[in-house]
Amino acid sequence: MSQARVPAPLMALAGLGLLLFLLPFAGLVVRAPWGQVSQELLAPETATALGLSIFCSVTATAIALVLGIPLALILSRTTGTLRSVLRALTTLPMVLPPVVGGVALLLAFGRRGLIGAPLYQLFGVQIPFTTTAAVIAETFVAMPFLVIAIEGGLRSLDHRYEEAARALGANSWKVFARVTLPLLRPAIFSGAVLCWARALGEFGATITFAGNLPGRTQTVPLAVYIALESKPDGAIVLSLVLLAVSLAILIGLRDRWLGEP
């Protein structure tokens, strides 16, 4: 396959963009106290925070898939004002400062919140300061990325396959499960990866809504923030660990899911 040449000015701009990404990572790698890496890695707090981060981000992504795919489907089938309103509502958490999102979650699910108050009074259930709260915060912030990606996939889908399946007598559920979903696989994959990555890095909404307690709500970004001021070297190592784990998972998943090199 012959590749079209990229114009030189575009190459230069792309290089600048790449530098903006890479320089901060280079800073982390250069400044990392490599002698302490094994010691930090073996520290029980590191394992605890990392395990919690992976659990919460994977759970949040699973919830986002279950709720987000239907949401994207509805978004792609509506038009006009309704669609604008639904879309704006879905993307709201992307533009909201995460700390504000955390406050909003408290006002909804907190002990005096809209849903939280009856839950607390009737059943004694308290959501803030629990791992559940950390998962809710991550889902709230990350799900829009999944919905937007899948909605884009749905809009560019060739609908003739679905029509053919319907013409052959498949009911709407069967069309969705056997035709639409398989066709959507690349969009679902990229949406899920974006969503998971955003959930993994989530900080503001989590610390506001779920608080900061090692083993329960202290995910890696929270542990990094706390360590940054008391032991900066540990914070750098922890950040690198998060980066390495994310890279490994992203590369590994991509091969498995899409069968691409």
Partner 1 sequence: MTVFAAASLQPAFDKIAAQLYVDATFNYAGTQTLAAQLTQGAEADVFASADKTHMKTLLDAGLIAGAPEVFAHNRLEIAVAKGNPKRIHSLADLARPGLVVVLADPSVPAGKYAQQALAKANVTVHPASLEPQVTGVLSKVALGEADAGIVYVSDVITSQKVQGVPIPDSQNVVADYPIAALKNAQHNSTADAFIAFVLAPDGQSILKAAGFEPA
Per CB under 8 A, residues contacting partner 1 are 106, 110-112, 126, 128-129, 207, 210-214, 217, 225-226, 228-230, 232
DSSP 56-110: HHHHHHHHHHHHHHHHHHHHHH--HHHHHHHHHHHHHHHHS-HHHHHHHHHHHHS
Nearer to partner 1, 97 or 182 (CB): 97
Q: Which is nearer to partner 1, 89 or 213 (CB)?
A: 213
Nearer to partner 1, 225 or 257 (CB): 225
Q: How far is the CB of 222 from partner 1 (least distance, A)?
A: 8
For the bound state, the minimum distance from the C-beta of residue 106 to partner 1, rounded and expressed in Å, comes to 6
Closest CB to partner 1 among residues 118, 232: 232
Smallest gap from residue 11 Cβ to partner 1 (A): 35
Task: Give the position of tokens 């709407």.
Answer: 172
CA 98 remoteness from chain centre: 13
Closest CA to 222 of 45, 15, 41: 45
Give min distance, CB of 27 to partner 1, in A.
13
Q: How many angstroms separate the Cα of 213 from the Cα of each of 23, 142, 203, 222?
A: 32, 22, 13, 9
Smallest gap, in angstroms, from Cβ of residue 150 to partner 1? 34
Smallest separation (angstroms) from partner 1 to the CB of 228: 7
Q: Nearer Cβ to partner 1, position 68 or 102?
A: 102
Structure letter (DSSP) for residue 4:
P
Separation of alpha carbons 207 and 38, rounded Å: 28
List the structure tokens of 45: 């707090």
End-to-end CA distance of the chain: 17
Q: What are the CA-CA distances from residue 87 to residues 67, 82, 93, 147, 210 (Å)?
A: 15, 8, 11, 9, 27
Q: State the minimum distance, in angstroms, from the CB of residue 256 to partner 1.
A: 37
Half-sphere exposure of 119 (CA within 13 A, CB side): 13
Residue closer to partner 1, measured from CB, 65 or 134: 134
CB of 101 closer than 8 Å to CB of 204: yes
